[in-house]
Amino acid sequence: MREIVLDTETTGLKANGGDRLVEIGCVELVNHVATGENYQVYINPERDMPDEAFRVHGLSEEFLADKPVFADVIDGFLEFIQDSTLIIHNAEFDIGFLNAELSNIGKSTLPMDRTIDTVKIARQKFPGVRVNLDALCSRFQIDNTNRTLHGALLDAQLLSEVYLELVGGRQPGLELAAEKAKTKPETVESTPQKPARAHAPTSDEAAAHEEFLGQLTDPIWRS
């Protein structure tokens, strides 16, 4: 089972109001295990960067000026995600921006039914408490000390750990330590042996033996 944990950064909150994507980050999971295969790209939004957004992710107009536009990165992005389920924290936001960008260049949009929204899972498990990424990292004791600013790839990596905790804990290693079987030494029961005869035959026994031999016809030791 292949899943893609996905996060984006944008110029603002309104996908259909002029705001644009500036970063996409993805982490590949296979059978709930991170494979180490990631996707990350910065995008030139072809517009200014509002101060409010800059304070969130630290991506300036100057930094993004020489980055590719969305139309130039979309093929690589779609190739990476393929038809995998998308794991997203607040899926409506990220899918909304991705679909707005896809529509702008005449591409098919991404259906919501291929997403798993970790915000919804967290709210079901922990009703009435904060379920943002920092709060969930704290709850699950996931180290997010490097998250001084939002970043799509960093957030996707943190979300992959949060997601595995939300769905029941991190996948144990595929190799289990083998337990050494303590075998009980096998006890071999010996058959009691009849003690060897330690004396010569009696005179009666010797006479009976001679009588028996006399009854034999042409014994082989006399030939």
Q: Catalogue the active-site residues.
A: 150
Looking only at the bridges linking them, the beta strands covering 2-10 and 85-88 are parallel
Tokens of 221: 């030791």
Do 118 and 92 touch, CB atoms closer than 8 A?
A: no
CA dihedral 78, 80, 84, 85 (to 10 degrees): -80
**Angle ∠(34,1,109) on CA atoms, nearest 5:** 95
Q: Of 172, 120, 169, nearest to 141 (Cα)?
A: 169
Q: Residue 100 is inside which H or E element, if any?
A: helix 91-104
**Whole-angstrom Cα distance, residue 160 to residue 72?**
27
Sign of CA dihedral 67, 70, 74, 75: negative
